[in-house]
Every structure is written in structure tokens, then in C-alpha cells.
Amino acid sequence: MALSYPTQPGDIDHLIADDHAVVERQFQHLEAGRGNRRVLVDQVSFELAAHAFAEETVLYPIWTEIGMTDEHDDAEHEHQQIKELLVVLGRTEPGQPEFEEALSSLIGVTRHHVDDEEGEELPEFRSKAGPARMAELGEQFLAAKRQAPTRPHPNAPSEGLAERIAGMLAKPLDQVRDMVSGKQKELATDASGLLDPQAQAIVDAHSSLGPLPFEILTPDQARKQPGPDDAVKKVLADRGIEGPEPVGSVQDLRIPDGTGGEQTLRVYTPAEPGVGPLPVLMWVHGGGWVLFDVDTYDASCRAMANKTGAIVVSPDYRRAPEAVFPAAHDDVLTAWRWLVLNAAQMGGDPARMAIGGESVGGTMAAATSLQLAQAGEPMPRAQVCVYPLTTGEQFGDSMTDAADARPLDRPLLSWMAMHAFQGKPEAATDPRVALLDWTPEQRAVMPPTLVITAERDVLRSQGQQFAQDLEAAGVQTTHRHYEGVMHEFFGAAAVLDKAEQAQQEAARHVRRAFGTAGEAA
């Protein structure tokens, strides 16, 4: 089931549908008998608890106000059934008849509830309440998920174990997490069984740090949560591996940003530089325009400096919602233009420059190339787009089959877009974001391009489509797809073989463009 009408990422019905997609995919893992059954059910319980509480406090009261009384009563009744089944699942174990019967019932009730909501109730609600109200309610919906109400929940069972487990709907979010089978350290992992063991170790490490879901927090709160780099550092520490990878030097420069202010440009020189001037690679960090910074992607930059023999620079562009689209893009373009003029002073060769990045960093790499071409300026020799976002739409099979993936699931993707495009919904269709909407002429100006995609990534399908589009337009395009790994895998080469392979592939692509392909790095 899916919504049959267009929505904005922060609209309440959009957010509800994202939650539905995550739980549905987890149900499919459970039905297929793959993954960690206990952890999957704990995660489903947590998600349904927070989701139900937010619906009951934000959405359902309005239904009665606007004449949707029958729908309100039906939904409340189904929520009550769901809560009672969660109680059973919380006190039993996989394999026990009571557990398996409750799980089967939960899947049936939830799917029926979702079909009713997405097929009838949400469309009716939108038509009666009006689309303008959806974004305001979306913010309230997320706030309800992270709030700590003190009053008893009106529909929670009222005593004993039932109160303790189903009553978690009325407790602070961190207490909710702690209540779920005492396994709060597993709630942020990928329990699907679809990751390879090395990748699984990384998402398990991230989850063990106890992060709250980014997608229900404010941006400021989310930035304080453990990031993908922290997960890799934990695996390194657990295994006694030294880090970070040594390079020749790391220096922070202050350069202009897109508004005439300043931004930081981090400059990495390789551990064993060749005879200068060295080629230059700009590497743009990810984080959905909202999260993360140059520190988060430090490992990628160090690796690319050593593997390419190039000076690697990374701009610490402005982030949303403090600076919404196109601030980050403007900063990256400004940094590139500054680099063209100043590379020689850094020991770099302005005639041999390339660009790349991860996630929306890959988006901005391609967008920068397009803007340079349109301005008639010298182009990068090559570009690398590592699991890029290439459309503001929920595009392709990966939006369904990786809806529950970690660290980037479908709700987090919507949360990022909601903040990145705040007050500017048209940004999602801007050519700097909607790369799949480019004309053949726009595609054809791209430099030789490497696109890297990951199996357990909501952005997989759109990255694959972008590579196909470029190839069809005659661009020298290489697409490398990695099974059994997740979004953000690229920087984890110290503990993940497929990340090492992807970095080597990216380095070969760049060295070939620099004319240094024969120089092993």
C-alpha cells in the first residue's frame, strides 16, 4: 500500500507512510525467516509504540473535529489490538507458540490498519483538513514522538505487565527504548540478515552506542548523536586497530563561502606525495545537507589522499535548516572556484582537478560540474558520486526494499529533505537536486563519472538510474554496485573489505583522469 497522491517530506501523511513502509519491510523479513527475529520484533514494537502515540495525540483528535468519528473509533480500536499483541510479544520468545501466534496476528492487524489509513482515511483527512495544515501537523507528529508525556495514556492497559509494556506509549522516548525486552542497544541496528558480517559489525557497533532515532529529533539534537564515523571508531577500538590512517598533513584553511562570509576548507596531503605539483581532488561530505561535517568524513579524505596521490580538500559548507538550499551548493561551488585560483599556492595543479563526494556530497559534486559547464568554466577531469541522492522523489524499488535500512532509512531521508528544503519545497525540483530530471544535453556535459551504489540503501535505485542516464547520454560512466553493505559504508575501509574495494575503484577512476593511473598509491 502507498499514498496515491503527492505530499511534501514533512507532511504528516508522508511521515506516517514512511513509518508504515519501515514496519512492513520488517514484517517481510520476519515472514521470510531471515535476520534476528527477537531484535526485529523489538524494533517493530518500538516503532509501533512511538507511531501510535504520535497518531493518538496529534492526528486522531482532529478526526473527530472534522467529522471522521467512525474512522477515529476504528483506528483507536486497531491500536488497542496492536498494543495488546505487543504485550504478548514482549513477554514471550521467538519459537514459542504464543509468540508466533501474536506475531501473525500483529502483522494482520497492522496491515489492515495501514490499508485503511493509506487507502481511505489519510486521503479523506487531507481533503478535509487541507494540504496547508499537513506540514504543521507533521512537525507536531515528530515532536510527539520525542516528547515525554506524564499523563497515563488513555488507551493503555491499566495494570500489571500490560501497563508496564503497553504503557510505554506514555513514557519518555528513552524509557520506551529501555522497556523493549531490555535490548535498547539493538534498536538502531539492521536486523534483516541482509548485510555481510563486516558491515553487520559496523551497524551493530553504532546501535551499541545507543543513538536515538535521528528522524524524530531536532537537527541540533540529531547532530549530538553518534554518527557513522563513531561506529567505525568503536569497531577499530574493539579490535585494537590503530587509527586514523596517517597522511602527510591535515590543515584547515578559511576561504570564502557563497555569501561573502567564510567557510573551512580542510586540506589533506598524501603520506607519500609524488613530485609536485600534485593533482587535486575535492571531496564533498554527506549528511543530507543537515547532519555531519568534515570530521565525520575524515577517513574517506585520508584514504583518497593516499590512494590517489592527490591533495584532497573538503569544504565544511553551511547546513540546513540554519542555511537552507541552495546554501550548501553555493558554498561548494565557491570553494571549487577558489581552489582553481589558489591550488598552485598549495602545491596543487589547477589543470588536474577532480570532484567527488558521498551521499548528498555526491549530489553536490555532479551539481557543481553542471554549474561549471553552464558557466563555460573548466570542468573537473572526473567525478565520483558515492550513493548520491539524484531526485527529491521516493524513487525505485530501494524505497521499499531498503525502507528499514540503517543508518539511512526512509523516515530519516524525509526528515533531511524536510529540513534542507524548509520553506522552499521547489528546491526538490531544482536541477542541482533533481539530477534524474536533467535533459540529455545536461547529462552529456558531465566528466567521466564513477557511480557507487550499495544494496541496503534507500538511494540505491536512484543512483543506478543516474548512472544509466549518463551512459545513455554518451558520458564515460562506470557503475559499481556493492552487495551486503549499507549507506555510509565507503569510509569504513579500515574494517570493511568492500569499502576498501570501493575506495580503490574510486582512486583508479580519479588517477586515470589525472594521467597517473600507472602510479600505484
Instruction: List the grid coordinates of 91.
Output: 513477554
Structure letter (DSSP) for residue 216? G
Backbone torsion region of residue 429, taken as left when φ is above 0, otherwise alpha when ψ lies between -120 and 50, otherwise beta: alpha
Instruction: List the grid coordinates of 395.
Output: 524513487
Give per-residue burial for 197-227: e unless 16+ CB within 10 Å, then b.
Answer: ebbbbbbbbbbbeebbbbbbbebeebbebbb
* Entry field: residues in the chain: 521
CA distance 362 to 364: 5
What is the arrangement of strands in the sheet containing 311-316, beginning at the earlier edge strand?
249-256, 262-269, 311-316, 278-284, 348-358, 383-386, 449-456, 477-486
Establish whether 359 is a catalytic residue.
yes
List residues bridging with 486 in a β-sheet.
456
CA distance 291 to 221: 10
CA distance 350 to 89: 62
| Catalytic, out of 181, 300, 359, 398 | 359
CA distance 395 to 391: 7
Establish whether 457 is a catalytic residue.
yes
List residues bridging with 348 in a β-sheet.
278
Q: Please name the residue that has the C-alpha cell 535498547.
A: 184
Parallel, antiparallel or unpaired: strands 311-316 and 348-358: unpaired
| Catalytic, out of 457, 461, 469, 509 | 457
- 153 φ, ψ (degrees, to nearest 5): -75, 135
Q: Are 346 and 282 in contact (CB under 8 A)?
A: no
CA distance 342 to 351: 12
- 433 φ, ψ (degrees, to nearest 5): -115, -45
CA distance 105 to 515: 62
List, in order, residues 6 or more apart from 227 with CB less than 8 Å away.
291, 292, 296
- Which residues are tagged catalytic? 359, 457, 487
